[in-house]
């Protein structure tokens, strides 16, 4: 069922909302980087940062969460642990950050008639700090935790004859696979 799909971007998106107060720090950092690097006055720097972060926060991160599905359609085939491989987590943070910065830069470009090329680096500075902080807190939160994975499968053969002429047919089965702190499988 489609509603059972989970990928790292959902966790990052949820964590972004959990740390909503970091947006204020991002805005302050961006105000000063925009002023210093683009020579905007303070009023224009504040407007650019606030408007850009509102659009990026409300629209950009949501779009990037869904856009990461395209990444997983391709990348999961090459990752040893598929969707939740460490490289996929790293790519999720990087691509979501770059994508939301692009949405922010595009918004500011449309309002202030500047170029994305000029806007990208000043906006990236504040956003990088936010995403780095969230990545750090998520890795610290999961330190030492054992991961359990629920797996649904269809056994082959799926028809069994039990004592007393009773027949058992299993269409799908569920098992739990436990991982230790090094993410190695405990049970098989």
- The per-residue pLDDT string of the chain (188 residues; one tens digit each, 9 = 90 and over) reads 444 566 777 777 777 777 778 788 888 988 999 999 999 999 999 999 999 988 988 888 888 888 888 888 888 778 777 777 888 788 888 888 898 899 999 999 999 999 999 999 999 988 888 888 888 887 776 555 555 666 666 667 777 888 888 887 777 666 666 666 666 666 65
CB 48 within 8 A of CB 120: no
The tokens of 36 are what?
């210093």
**DSSP string spanning the chain?**
-GGG---HHHHHHHHHHHTTTHHHHHHHHHHHHHHHHH---HHHHHHHHHHHHHHIIIIIHHHHHHHHHHHHHHHGGG-TTGGG-HHHHHHHHHHHHHHHHHHHHHHHHHHH---HHHHHHHHHHHHHHHHHHHHHHHHHHTTTPPEEEEEEE--SS-EEEETTTEEEE-S-EEEEEEE-TT--BS--
Element (H, E) at 79: none
Could you check whether the bond before residue 157 is cis, i.e. omega within 30 degrees of 0? yes
CA–CA separation, 105 vs 117, rounded Å? 9
């Amino acid at each position: 069922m489609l509603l059972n799909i989970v990928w790292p971007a959902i966790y990052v998106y949820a964590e972004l909302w959990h740390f909503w107060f970091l947006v204020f720090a991002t805005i302050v950092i961006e105000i000063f980087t925009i002023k210093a690097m683009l020579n905007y006055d303070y009023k224009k720097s504040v407007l650019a940062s606030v408007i850009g972060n509102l659009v990026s926060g409300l629209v950009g991160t949501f779009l990037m969460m869904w856009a990461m599905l395209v990444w997983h359609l391709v990348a999961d085939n090459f990752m040893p642990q598929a969707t939740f491989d460490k490289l996929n987590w790293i790519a999720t943070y990087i691509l979501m950050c770059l994508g939301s910065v692009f949405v922010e830069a595009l918004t500011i470009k449309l309002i202030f008639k500047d170029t994305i090329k000029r806007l990208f680096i000043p906006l990236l500075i504040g956003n990088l700090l936010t995403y780095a902080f969230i990545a750090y807190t998520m890795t610290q939160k999961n330190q030492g935790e054992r991961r359990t994975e629920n797996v649904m499968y269809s056994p082959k053969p799926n028809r069994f004859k039990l004592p007393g002429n009773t027949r058992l047919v299993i269409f799908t089965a569920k098992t739990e696979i436990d991982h230790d702190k090094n993410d190695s499988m405990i049970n098989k």
